[in-house]
Amino acid sequence: MLLKHNIRCILAQKNISFQPFSITNNQYRVFFFSVMGCVLLFVVFRWEEERYTDGSKWRFLEHKGPVFAPPYEPLPDKVKFYYDGKPMKLSAPAEEVTTFFSKMLDHEYTTKDIFRKNFFKDWRKEMTSEEKSKITDLNKCNFSEMSEYFKTQSEARKQMSKEEKQKIKEENERLLQEYGFCIMDNHKERIGNFRIEPPGLFRGRGDHPKMGMLKRRIRPEDIIINCSKDSKQPKPPPGTKWKEVRHDNKVTWLASWTENIQGSIKYIMLNPSSRIKGEKDWQKYETARRLKKCVDRIRTQYRDDWKSKEMRIRQRAVALYFIDKLALRAGNEKEEGETADTVGCCSLRVEHIKLYPKMDDQEYVVEFDFLGKDSIRYYNKIPVEKRVFKNLQLFLENKQPEDDLFDRLNTSILNKHLQELMDGLTAKVFRTYNASITLQQQLKELTSDDSVPAKILSYNRANRAVAILCNHQRAPPKTFEKSMQNLQTKIDEKQNQLSAARKQLKAAKADRKASRDEKSKKTVEVKRKAVQRIEEQLMKLQVQATDREENKQIALGTSKLNYLDPRISVAWCKKFGIPIEKIYNKTQREKFAWAIDMAEKDYEF
Ligand SMILES: *[C@@H]1O[C@H](CO)[C@@H](O)[C@H](O)[C@H]1NC(C)=O
Ligand SMILES: *[C@@H]1O[C@H](CO)[C@@H](O)[C@H](O)[C@H]1NC(C)=O
Ligand SMILES: *[C@@H]1O[C@H](CO)[C@@H](O)[C@H](O)[C@H]1NC(C)=O
Ligand SMILES: *[C@@H]1O[C@H](CO)[C@@H](O)[C@H](O)[C@H]1NC(C)=O
Ligand SMILES: CC(=O)N[C@H]1CO[C@H](CO)[C@@H](O)[C@@H]1O
């Protein structure tokens, strides 16, 4: 498996494609490859047996360290910055910071008060004392010449000649070959993000209080390198030093540093297609498959716990029911720096739910309305079991809207309980389990005996059912209306083509009736084929339109990437002869290389 994966990577680098096929039994797989006419044979032991048992992730790790952002190039003298109407030459550090601002001048950000305030404060830190005493008001700064200059530059880049573009491409390829790979144990692996982001101004999501602050340049002195003792250690750029070189094989990162805005630690890691990432992904889905085996026992237990004499156990059991039934998150896992009032299951407050003993023709309905992760609204009305409802009434007694619903519960208590129920169990495992099993069921139900486009529509529908379950909504993309219109225009054109083609066919048939010769018979055949072809094209466009319309407010990517066992999709593709490219794009195929190699068409989650 691993070897096959690695061979695939190596061959892909050399642009050689190959067609493997394999025979599997419980201990090993035999692969046959045909590469440029030669048949190669490999016996590979299964993945499960290749892991270390002492918690270490590797024995040997060698890499060349990160690629730093290019140094600052001062502006040409003709491009001027004006303060209070007068040109002023800035020192290089101060000038560099103004270039970040100038490049964003057309963006709404630079009009926002917080952004301007933060920017000005950080900019002043880079000024000489003379500059500091002169430049005291951002409103008196005129960056328009600089802004124009950068616009011209970016225009010029677009107009570059083929040769210039080729040169840049070659340079990037050289950097990739030199820095983009590492050796981990016996494998050459692609590194995910070996380039360090250039300095700039922090943006953040929404109205982030730190927007406009200076994201500092990362230097070798900020970098901690991790590699094995017996490897060739990466060399820092001439005249510089690393902050530290470590040899920690309990972690998988190659380099790390602390960024200055949020104080969070950044890592250089392997690409998602690497063995170690693939293995982690694979383990995640294996954990979810273990839950499948014991979910009945867990459900029986929490049902019993609804009757417990102890309040804390009842609360825990109701929370667990929500996590299982609604795929809620356990606690409030906030994004760094997120200041919005977001909650998860354990931190729900009284104001977030409403109870309806009877609603329409349903009994015991709970209405949820709160902001979840990334400030995505969670709104749902669901009927629950009577016992859950009665318990909720009990939890709400004598409480204010801003009180905790589960006052005897917090995220750590719940997580600890989950660990006791099953090794490795977290709220996320319930999501992964439910999402994956739902996809599998939906695919079984929805897949039609139709054409390939219709099958893909069924796949996307199954995927959407899961995304809705996981509350992966999105605002309709800005380009939505426009792209729908374009598609509709295409459909209209196709329809006109079709009626024209049908008319021609009819005419040809009439012709044939009149003459009954060979030539007119052939013409009818040709026209019939044309009609058929156009009908197929029209159907494809219509399926596309349906798909896009249904997809308007649902983000499929998140569940595809994080919650759906890729082996289900791969098996489905293999079973129905659908090319994997129709389901996964290039990045996704790299991430799921392990599943594409592993899953057979009869794979069951
Ligand atoms: C900024 O400077 C440019 C010349 O470089 C000038 O045309 C423009 O009017 C100035 N803007 C303001 C607001 O002073
Ligand atoms: C998955 O979640 C849905 C929505 O709550 C639920 O109806 C369904 O029973 C769950 N499926 C499984 C197999 O747990
Ligand atoms: C959760 O509750 C337990 C017991 O009440 C307490 O010891 C623990 O500190 C709490 N944890 C958090 C993160 O609040
Ligand atoms: C593939 O899809 C993901 C969403 O899951 C997207 O973020 C990524 O940019 C896409 N990659 C390519 C190469 O199209
Ligand atoms: C976190 C950390 O520094 N871990 C390890 C780095 O590598 C050496 C062994 O070479 C360990 O002693 C450290 O604990």
Q: Which ligand is nearest to the CA of 585?
A: 4
Q: CB–CB of 80/109 below 8 Å?
A: no
Q: Do β-strands 224-226 and 244-246 pair in parallel, antiparallel, or remain unpaired?
A: parallel
Ligand 3 probe mutation, 412, 415, 416, most atoms within 8 A of CB: 412
Show which residues are catalytic.
563
pLDDT score for 1: 46
Q: CB–CB of 257/263 below 8 Å?
A: no
Q: Please tell me what DSSP assigns to residue 580.
A: G
* Angle CA 100–106–111, to nearest 5: 85
Contacts of the segment 37-43: beta carbons below 8 A, 24+ positions apart: 42/3, 42/4, 42/7
Alpha helix (H) residue ranges in 367-451:
386-396, 411-421, 427-446
CA-CA distance, 508 to 505, in Å (whole number)? 5
Residue 560 CA: which ligand 4 atom is closest?
A: 5
**What's the longest Cα–Cα distance across the chain?**
98
Ligand 1 probe mutation, 80, 81, 82, 149, most atoms within 8 A of CB: 82
Q: Whose CA is nearest to atom 10 of ligand 2?
A: 434
CA distances from 214 to 94, 123, 336 (A): 11, 7, 17
Sheet containing 86-88, strands listed edge to edge, beginning at the edge strand earlier in sequence: 86-88, 81-83, 141-142
Q: Whose CA is nearest to atom 12 of ligand 2?
A: 434
3-state SS assignment for residue 87: strand
pLDDT score for 48: 42
| Residues 6+ positions from 121 with CB-CB distance below 8 Å | 213
Q: CB–CB of 95/74 below 8 Å?
A: yes
Q: CB–CB of 68/255 below 8 Å?
A: no
**Quick one: 62 exposed, middle or buried, by C-beta within 10 A (0-12, 13-18, 19+)?**
middle
Distance 105 CA to ligand 1 centre (A): 13
Q: CB–CB of 260/219 below 8 Å?
A: no
Distance 99 CA to ligand 4 centre (A): 30
3-state SS assignment for residue 270: strand
Q: Kindly state if the Cβ of 291 falls inside 6 Å of ligand 2.
A: no
Q: Average pLDDT per run of 10 along the chain, which is 605 residues long?
A: 52 45 42 56 48 78 92 94 95 96 92 95 96 95 95 92 93 93 84 92 83 95 93 93 92 91 89 79 92 95 96 95 88 56 88 93 93 80 94 95 93 92 92 92 84 86 84 72 88 93 92 84 91 91 83 76 92 92 89 86 91
CA-CA distance, 26 to 510, in Å (whole number)? 66
Residue 441 CA: which ligand 2 atom is closest?
A: 13
CA-CA distance, 46 to 27, in Å (whole number)? 6
Q: Please tell me what DSSP assigns to residue 26.
A: S
Half-sphere CA count of 393, side-chain side, radius 13 A: 12
Q: CB–CB of 109/204 below 8 Å?
A: no
Q: Kindly state if the Cβ of 415 falls inside 6 Å of ligand 3.
A: no
What is the Cα gyration radius of the chain?
30
pLDDT score for 47: 47
3-state SS assignment for residue 41: strand
Q: Kindly state if the Cβ of 413 falls inside 6 Å of ligand 3.
A: yes
CA-CA distance, 233 to 220, in Å (whole number)? 14
Residue 430 CA: which ligand 2 atom is closest?
A: 14
Q: Whose CA is nearest to atom 5 of ligand 2?
A: 325
Distance 374 CA to ligand 1 centre (A): 40
pLDDT score for 16: 45
Q: Kindly state if the Cβ of 333 falls inside 6 Å of ligand 5.
A: no
Distance 411 CA to ligand 3 centre (A): 8
CA-CA distance, 434 to 288, in Å (whole number)? 9
Output the six-digit token pair for 31: 């692969």
Tell me the one-letter amino acid at 523: T
Q: Kindly state if the Cβ of 407 falls inside 6 Å of ligand 3.
A: no
Closest to 74 measured CA to CA, from 98, 105, 38:
98
Helix, strand, coil content of the chain in percent (nearest 5): 50, 15, 35
Q: Which ligand is nearest to the CA of 437?
A: 2
pLDDT score for 24: 39
Q: Kindly state if the Cβ of 325 falls inside 6 Å of ligand 2.
A: yes
Q: Which ligand is nearest to the CA of 230?
A: 5
Q: Whose CA is nearest to atom 6 of ligand 2?
A: 325
Q: Whose CA is nearest to atom 14 of ligand 2?
A: 434
Backbone angles phi, psi at 233, to 5 degrees: -75, 145
Q: Which ligand is nearest to the CA of 247?
A: 5
Please state the three-class secondary structure of 225-245 as a single string. Answer: EECCCCCCCCCCCCCCCCCEE
Q: Quick: pLDDT tens for 287-323.
A: 999 999 999 999 999 999 999 999 999 999 999 999 9
Ligand 1 probe mutation, 141, 144, 152, most atoms within 8 A of CB: 144
CA-CA distance, 269 to 548, in Å (whole number)? 35
| Residues 6+ positions from 441 with CB-CB distance below 8 Å | none
Exposure string for 328-343, b = 16+ CB within 10 A, e = fewer = bbbbbebeebbeeebb
Q: Could you count the other beta carbons within 10 Å of the beta carbon of residue 178? A: 11
CA-CA distance, 36 to 3, in Å (whole number)? 19
CA distances from 82 to 118, 127, 133, 420 (A): 21, 15, 15, 66
Alpha helix (H) residue ranges in 306-426:
311-326, 386-396, 411-421
Tell me the one-letter amino acid at 305: D
Q: Kindly state if the Cβ of 167 falls inside 6 Å of ligand 5.
A: no
Q: Kindly state if the Cβ of 520 falls inside 6 Å of ligand 1.
A: no
Q: Kindly state if the Cβ of 587 falls inside 6 Å of ligand 4.
A: yes
CA-CA distance, 282 to 161, in Å (whole number)? 45
Residue 410 CA: which ligand 3 atom is closest?
A: 1
pLDDT score for 292: 94
Q: Kindly state if the Cβ of 192 falls inside 6 Å of ligand 4.
A: no
Closest to 61 measured CA to CA, from 307, 270, 347, 280:
270
Q: CB–CB of 202/32 below 8 Å?
A: no
Q: Kindly state if the Cβ of 56 falls inside 6 Å of ligand 5.
A: no
3-state SS assignment for residue 207: coil
- Helix (H) or strand (E) holding 151, with range, is helix 144-158
